[in-house]
Structure 1
């Protein structure tokens, strides 16, 4: 998928507390590349703001995905391309925020103009995320508290509220743009946002070597009532019958519609279509 999207000329790589955080966090996960600022030339990169402003941005993304899905599965239903793109886009602010909150107790700006992502090829998913604003919220005992870039808040619950609010603002902008283009209701869009945030915090703990800590972070961030999210954290412990170690799973709030791709694909075991609440 060739984008041709604009790149902010002032989005230059630089060092600072948040750049240092990203350098520390990046090797503690393997899903995407994390960085501060954009590389020279920045091929296949776009800011989230530029992408949301493009009248045909999501149509082009879904068209590129449809071609890849047809090559892999022989089919590309509209609901599946919409479900994939919805999940992938929300992962950009959600996964980044989850990692920085879990490992660094820092929350960056999540405004669309302050984030960028790179589109992979041939499978058109975000494979790198860049932060373009050096400012962040943190705790009072953060080593960078008191610097020009940092805004200290009272405690972890307050920092979780900052993360929740910033992510919700970005997700709301996405829903306003993407919602009219697909056959999903508002609840489905916010269900996907809930999944993105809950899953990001869980994965941050798992990849970082302390899955339980990620579960606790997910509960903390999604603890202050569901609205506009569709639930609190749905993570739950599974105790194997053979007495093995506890495993964690969660019920998805949204559906990716992968089961529509081809006969025999089946429904995910965590899909809300088959996984009961509670």
Structure 2
């Protein structure tokens, strides 16, 4: 699945065409509509839209929103926003119905003592980077837990698969934030900082590993079910085929 950041706009407001995460979690019918839009897109390109594939794509795309918003702020600003569903919004692309914009609507944040904004009323200062990483992890887990509760019964996907996808979204987002910012190694280091161990119900620590040459690779924890589409096969890092 293509990285979210390939065409992602990051902003602090959400125009009328945007969707608050809280709206989806309060009314799961929004997820049904989203999957129907995706099914239309898949049928136009593949001639088929298996329900598990639409469930898997929407699962991964939604979880990328809080993960990538948090990863960008951590990487570039060393700050952690609330990440509450009421304070995040996203926009769906007019072509492929994936999120191509994220809005962080709240103003409160956690930061390090040396942050220029540490004296502001909306700032909460923590002692160091490990403490900041712990705040980010906790905020993300709280958002993901609500998503798992709401989306699980609707999607037919098991909790283990949903939490595996949440793990992938967080690990990938930290990696992508560094790569997009021109310092992939820093993104890998952020992933090792935030996911230095397995924090249940997440399913693993960071799985980023050096490959041949200067490339980094990671083992996926979840399946996007792309292989169910006509003519498609499992992704190279899919847990169905990749040794653990």
Q: Pick the TM interval, shorter chain.
A: over 0.9
CA drift of 1:224 comes to 4.1
CA drift of 1:38 comes to 2.3
**Residue of structure 2 in register with 1:253 after alignment:** 221
Bigger Cα displacement from structure 2, 102-111 vs 114-123: 114-123
Q: 1:271 aligns with which of 228, 238, 243?
A: 238
For residues 134 and 44 of structure 2, the distance between their equivalents in structure 1, rounded to whole angstroms, comes to 43
The answer to whether residue 79 in structure 2 is matched with residue 106 in structure 1 is yes
The answer to whether residue 132 in structure 2 is matched with residue 159 in structure 1 is yes
RMSD value, Cα:
1.1
Larger Rg: 1
Q: 2:55 aligns with which of 73, 82, 105?
A: 82
CA drift of 1:103 comes to 1.2
Q: 1:133 aligns with which of 99, 103, 106?
A: 106
Q: Deviations over 1:76-98 (max 9, x none)?
A: 00000000000000011001111
For residues 137 and 226 of structure 1, the distance between their equivalents in structure 2, rounded to whole angstroms, comes to 21
For residues 275 and 97 of structure 1, the distance between their equivalents in structure 2, rounded to whole angstroms, comes to 28
Runs of 4+ in 1 over 2 A off after TM superposition: none
**Residue of structure 2 in register with 1:230 after alignment:** 203
Question: What's the TM-score once normalised by structure 1's chain length?
Answer: 0.84
Q: 1:178 aligns with which of 148, 151, 157?
A: 151
For residues 28 and 53 of structure 2, the distance between their equivalents in structure 1, rounded to whole angstroms, comes to 21
Q: 2:69 aligns with which of 96, 99, 107?
A: 96
Q: Deviations over 1:62-84 (max 9, x none)?
A: 01110100001111000000000
Higher relative contact order (CA closer than 8 Å, sequence separation 6+): 2
Please say if residues 28 and 150 of structure 2, whose CA atoms lie closer than 8 Å, have aligned partners that are also in contact. Answer: no
CA drift of 1:276 comes to 1.0
Q: Deviations over 1:87-125 (max 9, x none)?
A: 000011001111111111011110000001111113111
Q: Deviations over 1:143-172 (max 9, x none)?
A: 100111111101000000000000000000
CA drift of 1:30 comes to 4.5
CA drift of 1:236 comes to 0.4
CA drift of 1:275 comes to 1.0
For residues 185 and 32 of structure 1, the distance between their equivalents in structure 2, rounded to whole angstroms, comes to 29
The answer to whether residue 19 in structure 2 is matched with residue 35 in structure 1 is no
How many matched pairs?
240
CA drift of 1:271 comes to 0.5
